[in-house]
Amino acid sequence: MKIHGTTILGVRVGDRAAMGGDGQVTMGETIIKQNSSKIRTLGGGKVLAGFAGSTADALTLFEKFEGKLEQYSGNLQRAAVELAKDWRSDRILRRLEALLAVMDEKASLIVSGTGDVVEPEDDVLAIGSGGPYALAAARAFLKAGWEDPIEIVRQSIQIAGSICLYSNAQITLKSLGDK
């Protein structure tokens, strides 16, 4: 699924995690908002979630995912798998056009409406049209020895926002595990 617009990036280093998203909202070729927040804290502050795609669809998915987190006592992986099953099989949910990136202090997952639940192998996840740029930057910062997930996310999304037409550098950042 190709989502046009947005950059969402999550990075986990040890038991610290950060997720950020750009603030740009577009309709077709027009920018209609510069400072939207596409990141939420769920599960009593223990889970970060970000979306790429239609806002109404994403809000529906946030609500459904939070319900799954409650149903499965905060188990991120189980909640993500159950959401993906519902999303793929439900006639109404199946029409939603969005991707979710979710993470806690132990796991990072991308959830799609095709039933995919993908855990990246390097504790870095990215979605949206600016995602590949932010992902490349984050991996380079990690390879260079950076250890602060907040700063990695901030700098990576700024880079993506300077490259991707559908993203900007007005960043919303949330984190877990900060001392």
Number of CB atoms found within 10 A of residue 150's CB: 18
- Give the relative orientation of helices 76-89 and 55-71 as an angle to the nearest 10 degrees: 130
pLDDT the model gives residue 57? 78
Evaluate if residue 4 carries a pLDDT over 80.
no
Distances (CA, A) of 82 to 3, 46, 65: 22, 18, 9
Order across the sheet with 47-53: list the strands: 39-42, 47-53, 98-103, 108-111, 117-118
Active site positions, annotated: 6
pLDDT the model gives residue 126? 96
33-71: per-residue pLDDT in tens?
888 889 999 999 999 999 988 777 778 888 999 999 999
pLDDT the model gives residue 108? 95
Distances (CA, A) of 170 to 25, 35, 86, 104: 11, 6, 33, 23
Q: Look at the domain 8-167 and name its fold.
A: Glutamine Phosphoribosylpyrophosphate, subunit 1, domain 1 (3.60.20)
Whole-model pTM: value is: 0.92
Evaluate if residue 92 carries a pLDDT over 80.
no
Evaluate if residue 75 carries a pLDDT over 90.
yes
Evaluate if residue 152 carries a pLDDT over 60.
yes
